[in-house]
Amino acid sequence: MLYISNIATYTLSDSVRVKIALDDIKRPVAKELELFEEKFRQAMKSRVPLLDRITYYIIRRKGKQLRPILVFLSSEYFGGITEQTYRGAALIELMHTATLVHDDVVDDAYYRRGFFSINALWKNKIAVLIGDYLLSKVLLLAVEHSDFEMLRLVSTAVKEMSEGELLQIEKARRLDIDESVYYEIIRQKTASLIAACCAIGAYAGGANNTQIEHFTRFGEYLGMAFQIKDDLFDLDPESNTGKPSGIDIKERKMTLPLIYALSNAGWLEKREITYLVKNKNNDPKAVKKVIDFILNSGGVEYAKQKMNEYHDKALKVLEEVKTEHSDQFLRNLALYVLQRSH
C-alpha cells in the first residue's frame, strides 16, 4: 500500500478503503485557520529584534497544526467560531511551542521537524528565555481578555505534562515502567494537551459543563491513540515516517510494544533485553536484537489493538455529545490520528 504525505488510510473491510487528507479534514475551518495564522503571528510579536527573528523562525517551521484544527472543529461543533476560539487556539499554540522549545533544551536536541532547534541556533540560554517569553504571552493573552477558564484549562495541561515528564524520568532510570504507569505517563505528557484543545474549543463554542467534560475525555482518548501511534512508527514495517529504525530504543524509551514484549518474556530473556536497552542502545546489532524481540513477541500487534481501543473510546464519547452540527470532520480527524503515516 502506498502512503502519501498528509493522507491517512483505514481499512473498513476487506473491500472498502477510505482515504482522508488532512486538508479535507480542516476544509470547514480553512478560512478561519488562515486568519488564525495572522492572529498568531501578531500574538508573538515583540519590540526586541532578536525575539522577532526567532519567533519568525518558529512560525516558518510550524507542523501540521492538528491542535488548532481540533480547537476550531470543536468550537464549530458546539455553535460556531468566535474571537474566543482564536484566542483559545493561540493559547494552545503558544504554550505548546514553549514546551517544545524547553524540551529541546532538556533533551539536548538539535533538530525539530527537520529544522534546527532554537537551542542549536541560539544556544540554551536564549532558548530557555524564548520559552519563558512564550509562556508569558499565554498568561497575558488570557488575562487581558478575562479568559480565565481557558487559562485554567491550558495551565492544567502544562501541569500534567510536567508531571508526566518527571514521572517518565523517574521510572526510566530502572526501565521498570509497567503498562499502567505507561498509560499514566502518556495521558499526562501527550493526551492532556489534546484534551485541552477539545475542551477549549468546546468552551469557546458555547458548550455547557457536561459537554466540555465529555469533549475533554474525547480529546484524552484521542491523545492516547496518538501517542501509541508514535510508538509504532519506530517499529511498524508499514510506516513511512523516515524515522531511523530503533530510535526509541537508542533513546532508552519504554514504548508500549517493548513493555508488552518484556511483560511476556521469561526472566533470563527479560534481563538480557533490559541490559541491551540500558547499556548497548548505541550498538546497531543490539538495537536490531531488541527490535526483533519486540516483533517476535507480538508487541506491535498488541499496541495496534490498544490504539484502536482508545480510538473507539473516543468515538463512543462523541456519540454521547450529539449537537445539531455534523461530527463527521471530528471523526475524520480521529481516523487521521489513527492511520497517519508521520
Phi, psi values for residue 11, rounded to 5°: -85, 115
Q: Is residue 262 part of a domain?
A: yes
Helices assigned H by DSSP within 205-296: 209-233, 247-250, 256-263, 267-279, 284-296
The pLDDT score that the predictor gives to residue 17 is: 47
Q: How far apart are CA 5 and CA 21, in angstroms?
A: 9
Q: Is residue 81 part of a domain?
A: yes
Q: How far apart are CA 300 and CA 158, in angstroms?
A: 30
Q: Is residue 193 part of a domain?
A: yes
Instruction: Give which of 120, 117, 118 is closest to 129, Cα–Cα.
Output: 118
The pLDDT score that the predictor gives to residue 70 is: 94
Q: Is residue 4 part of a domain?
A: no
Query: For residue 63, what is the domain's CATH number?
Result: 1.10.600.10
Q: How far apart are CA 29 and CA 34, in angstroms?
A: 9
| Global confidence as pTM | 0.87
Give CA 35 to chain center in angstroms: 23
Which of the residues in the chain have pLDDT under 50? 1-17, 240-244
Q: How far apart are CA 206 and CA 340, in angstroms?
A: 30
Count of structural domains within the chain: 1
Cell of 239: 510506516
Residues 304/232, Cβ–Cβ less than 8 Å: yes
Buried b (16+ CB within 10 A) or exposed e, 177-205: beeebbbbbbbbbbbbbbbbbbbbbbbbb
In which domain, by residue range, is 165 found?
18-339
Instruction: Give which of 313, 309, 307 is closest to 228, Cα–Cα.
Output: 307
Q: Is residue 10 part of a domain?
A: no
Q: Render pLDDT for 297-315 as a digit per residue (tens, 0 to 9).
A: 999 999 999 999 999 999 9
Q: Is residue 3 part of a domain?
A: no
The pLDDT score that the predictor gives to residue 160 is: 94
Q: Is residue 139 part of a domain?
A: yes
Q: Is residue 189 part of a domain?
A: yes
